[in-house]
Amino acid sequence: MKPFTTCVHAGAHVEPTTGAIMQPIFATSTYVQEEPAKHKGFDYSRADNPTRQAYEEALAAMEGARHGLSFASGLAAVQAVVQLLEPGARILVCDDVYGGTGRLFRRLFAKYNLDFQFVDMADPAAVKAAATPATKLVWVETPTNPMMKVIDIRAMAQVAKQTGALLVVDNTFASPIFQTPLALGADIVLHSTTKYIGGHSDLIGGALMMSRQDLFEQLKFVQFAAGSVPSPFDAYLMHRSLKTLGVRMMQHHKNGMAVAEFLASHKRVKRVMFPGLKSHPQHAIAAEQMRGFSGMVSFDLDGTYDDVVKFLKKLKVFALAESLGGVESLVNHPEKMTHASVPEEMRKKLGIGPALIRLSCGIEDTDDLVADLKQAL
Ligand SMILES: *Cc1c(COP(=O)(O)O)cnc(C)c1O
């Protein structure tokens, strides 16, 4: 089936006792057993819950994966992957990885004798050079946040294969509508479902998708044993949101394109970072591995931090808030907000400065978004 059909139908089962077309919310922690250990496949909701199971089936289908697992947050999903590792493992991480992922690696997991190396993955030679026999994971996020670098997933799959490491791709920014990393050689795909998949800025969630049976079993064990599962209510909401992911992404893409083109032509804008622009340094790779470019646009204002604050205050449609991927447009100042926990020297190296602004273009009318930016500029 094609993606929009998959969005609507994956994991949808008619409820047998009533014929309800929608998956009920099974608000239960436990299940009555006939005899000890004789039950209908459910014994405790940390292990399995029917509402969550239906949602996980849909998640897997979206990424063309055999298995999907959902978590209480995107970072809980990140944590589950790291919990596959033994002490001493080396992990190669893209240098402008999501701020929270970097913080989890640097401040929590580094003390368990895990060796995180932050590498510029737009340069495959640099990744090859950093790979050693101890390398167990290659951690890719593409497009990256907030600099919108595009990483060649196939090239990273090759490096990972040569090294015997697993390739993990955080696919949050592209969504499964625009990019399916498993088909490009990734072993595990990760989402913060808080963003495009949830899509309505009303929940926190994460997901992992994989086709390898051994990885599924190991990660399912982590999910069960460590326990970062979403509630049946959140699983229901995320499954409901998945149904409209396809149509939402088309409008995010349309708005992202129009906003990036408008900004690129404006004299108060120094540079625009959006993989859909021909001027983007990795546009060719983006055009090859993505089917659309989402609604995330970063740019440098030609001005001081005070000018940036004035601009932010003038915006009427874009709300100043962290997060992204919701139906409403948001604006964020990475240096002071989402990326404040990134070490200062790393911020400098990446180009996250006082004039950098990140937009999450929602699904409003394109003209209203462009007009809002225009009046504020
Ligand atoms: C938000 C985000 C995360 C973390 O997800 P939470 O749901 O906030 O825990 C991870 N990766 C990316 C790319 C994100 O944008």
Together in a domain, 339 and 222? no
Concerning whether 123 is annotated as a catalytic residue, the answer is: no
- For the cut 90, the answer to whether the pLDDT of residue 342 exceeds it is no
- With pLDDT > 90 as the criterion, what percentage of the chain qualifies? 93
pLDDT digits (tens, 9 = 90+) for 170-214: 999 999 999 999 999 999 999 999 999 999 999 999 999 999 999
Domain boundary among 215, 242, 269: 242
Give the CATH number for residue 71.
Answer: 3.40.640.10
Together in a domain, 305 and 174? no
Higher-pLDDT residue of 195, 348 = 195
- Confidence at residue 297, expressed as pLDDT on a 0 to 100 scale: 98
Span from the CA of 192 to the centroid of ligand 1 (angstroms): 4
Together in a domain, 104 and 207? yes
- Confidence at residue 340, expressed as pLDDT on a 0 to 100 scale: 86
pLDDT digits (tens, 9 = 90+) for 299-310: 999 999 999 999
Domain boundary among 242, 275, 308: 242
Together in a domain, 191 and 261? no
Together in a domain, 292 and 336? yes
Span from the CA of 98 to the centroid of ligand 1 (angstroms): 7
Together in a domain, 78 and 33? yes
Question: Residue of the nearest CA to atom 12 in ligand 1?
Answer: 98
Q: How many domains does the chain have?
A: 2
Beta strands in the chain (DSSP E): 67-71, 90-94, 115-119, 135-141, 166-170, 188-192, 206-210, 269-273, 296-301, 319-320, 330-332, 356-360
Ligand 1: atom nearest CA of 145 is 13
Range of the domain at 299: 246-376
Together in a domain, 121 and 194? yes
Domain boundary among 242, 261, 290: 242
Together in a domain, 152 and 296? no
- Assess whether the C-beta atom of 194 lies below 6 angstroms from ligand 1: yes
Span from the CA of 99 to the centroid of ligand 1 (angstroms): 8
Mean pLDDT of the chain: 96
- Assess whether the C-beta atom of 73 lies below 6 angstroms from ligand 1: yes
Concerning whether 214 is annotated as a catalytic residue, the answer is: no
- Assess whether the C-beta atom of 170 lies below 6 angstroms from ligand 1: yes
- Confidence at residue 147, expressed as pLDDT on a 0 to 100 scale: 93
Span from the CA of 76 to the centroid of ligand 1 (angstroms): 9
Name residue 141's beta-bridge partners: 170
List C-alpha distances in Å: 296 to 14, 37, 84, 319, 368: 36, 49, 31, 14, 17
The dihedral sign for the CA sequence 175, 178, 180, 185: negative
Together in a domain, 224 and 257? no
Together in a domain, 238 and 308? no
271 contacts 280 by C-beta, under 8 angstroms: no
Concerning whether 44 is annotated as a catalytic residue, the answer is: no
Give the CATH number for residue 354.
Answer: 3.90.1150.10
Together in a domain, 227 and 262? no
Together in a domain, 10 and 135? yes
- Assess whether the C-beta atom of 144 lies below 6 angstroms from ligand 1: no
295 contacts 360 by C-beta, under 8 angstroms: yes
Compute how many other C-beta atoms are within 10 angstroms of the C-beta atom of residue 153. 26
- For the cut 90, the answer to whether the pLDDT of residue 369 exceeds it is yes
263 contacts 297 by C-beta, under 8 angstroms: yes
233 band by pLDDT with thresholds 50, 70 and 90: very high
pLDDT digits (tens, 9 = 90+) for 113-171: 999 999 999 899 999 999 999 999 999 999 998 999 999 999 999 999 999 999 999 99
Ligand 1: atom nearest CA of 324 is 15
